[in-house]
Chains A and B, each alone.
Chain A
Amino acid sequence: MTSDITRIGPPPSPGAGPVPPQGYEAMDDHELLRLHVAGNPDTFGYLVKRHRDRMWAVAIRTLGEPEEAADALQEAFISAFRRADSFRGDAKVTTWLHRIVVNACLDRIRRRQVRAADPLPEDEDRAAELAGPAEDDPAEVRERRLDVLNALKQINVDQRSALVLVDMEGYSIEEAAAILGCAPGTVKSRCARGRAKLLPLLRHWQTTRGGSADDVPAKARQTAPTAAATSSGTGGTE
């Protein structure tokens, strides 16, 4: 047991199984979840510890606000804890967790939209702090991370969540569509339009690669939408 997993409550029931000699950390996700469902009080904590950074990345990129991301992640992990017995063993545990985390994020966004008069706190310093402990990563990594977070905040949330899943988390269009509960064509459209909006926001990345900011033509950024851009044939364009 590691120092940041706290053992609380009575020992596991007999069905929860003994602690293996190599420890819980050696177990795969499916086994940890199975033991949790059987009553083991410790294994879900290990699952959280194993995946919390990845899920934090998804939440912070999708929501753009650290406080919101923390709340969403808490809701998501509680939901996962309680619904663990509904997990279908043929899927990856991480895919299941992603789905729960993304849905928790989208729920918060929907609730936020309902309370349109309730603006989110804007705290640049806090955002920078929560983008990761400064001592963990080189300055350029943190700077790049913050660039992405700030750029993602400026695009439509539907486009943002599609881009996070497909471009950043590596899900296929079909998998992302299943997680987001929409048609694959809609995911493709959201990704395309999201990239188009992100491009000028992150154009200095091109500069750092040896080109110049002018590599992205001003005309391409500024031209009015053409007929083609407003008549996408796949549907679901947003």
Chain B
Amino acid sequence: MTDAGLPTSEHLEHLDTDTIADLIENLLPAPEAHRAREHVKACPDCQQTYDALLQLTEDLADEGRTDIPMPADVAEHLNAVIASESVLRASTVGVHSLVQLREEPHRHLPKLLLAAAAVVVVAGAGVVGVVLATADHSTDGAAGIGSPTSVPSITTEQVGPDAQRWLEGAKGPILHGEAAEIDCARQFATTQPDSELQLVQPATVDGKRSTVIGLPGGSAGDVKVFVVTGCSGSGGPATPFYDTTVTLRNR
């Protein structure tokens, strides 16, 4: 601020609003701030502007304290998008933790890309109910929601809960793996009382490359789950080393 351009009460030339706003925010260098402050004290119009700016700050704060309700259609669409993201994440191979996903991106990227395509469709349609089409290597095209399409690493303790989760999320049998592995599972099934395959899932169980095979159990909704070795690579014969029975809640 120069003396020549200095608006003062003596000059009866008002400060512009920017200068007064800067004064309030302590943005003016000290000498200019002093002169501007003196002017405001002496000039009723500039004092009014000064007060109005302070009041505006309070009014904006009042307004800011009230949320603006998100329109229902926007909220509905957002719910669908977030639901799709949950599906995408849950569909990754045996992974339910973002930390795991971040640490092992190479393992999950192909599945993520496939799932992302499904999410785009879902989000575009704005629907809430979602059916995710996962990659399926089986010969007959059966697929299960949430069931892994590659080889998850699990323990024998997890076999029952995981098989139950996979099957409950599927509309029909889950037959994953190479054709030779599925054929091996079919051969194994013929040795059991009911040979209708419910589940074939390649897995590493307790460190061993295995195949999880599900067959109808003794009661409605029951699935007898076997873990066998020998079906991957060589194509048999299957050698079971663990079995359990799960009861599906939605069958």
For chain B, residues 85 to 99, give those with C-beta under 8 angstroms from any C-beta of chain A: 85-87, 89-91, 95-99
User: Do most interface residues of chain A lie in helix, strand or loop, or is the interface mixed?
Assistant: helix
Interface residue stretch chosen among A21-29, A113-121, A230-238: A230-238
**A168 engages B128 (CB within 8 Å):** no
A-chain residues with CB within 8 Å of residue B77 when the two chains form the complex:
70, 74
**A227 engages B2 (CB within 8 Å):** yes
Residue of A nearest to B45 (CB): A217
Q: Indicate if A181 sits at the interface (CB-CB under 8 A).
A: no
A-chain residues with CB within 8 Å of residue B18 when the two chains form the complex:
192-193, 196, 225, 229
A-chain residues with CB within 8 Å of residue B143 when the two chains form the complex:
none
Contact of A53 among B45, B48, B70, B98 (CB under 8 A): B70
Known A-B contacts A44-B86, A48-B82, A168-B63; the reply to A225 vs B16 at CB < 8 A is yes
**Chain B: interface residue total (CB-CB under 8 A):** 80
Q: Indicate if B61 sits at the interface (CB-CB under 8 A).
A: yes
Q: Indicate if A30 sits at the interface (CB-CB under 8 A).
A: no
A233, chain B: closest CB distance, angstroms = 4
> Considering the chains assembled together, what is the distance between the CA atoms of A13 and B35 in angstroms?
67
Contact of A56 among B5, B7, B70 (CB under 8 A): B70
Q: List 22 A-B contacts (CB under 8 A).
A: A4-B76, A6-B128, A9-B89, A9-B91, A10-B146, A13-B97, A48-B78, A53-B67, A57-B67, A168-B63, A170-B61, A170-B64, A188-B25, A196-B16, A196-B21, A198-B56, A199-B56, A200-B17, A223-B7, A227-B4, A228-B6, A231-B1
A-B contacts besides A198-B60, A232-B28, 8 pairs, CB < 8 Å: A8-B86, A9-B89, A189-B27, A215-B48, A220-B15, A220-B17, A226-B16, A227-B4
Closest 10 CB pairs of A and B: A39-B96, A168-B64, A13-B96, A233-B29, A10-B146, A227-B5, A228-B1, A9-B90, A217-B45, A53-B67
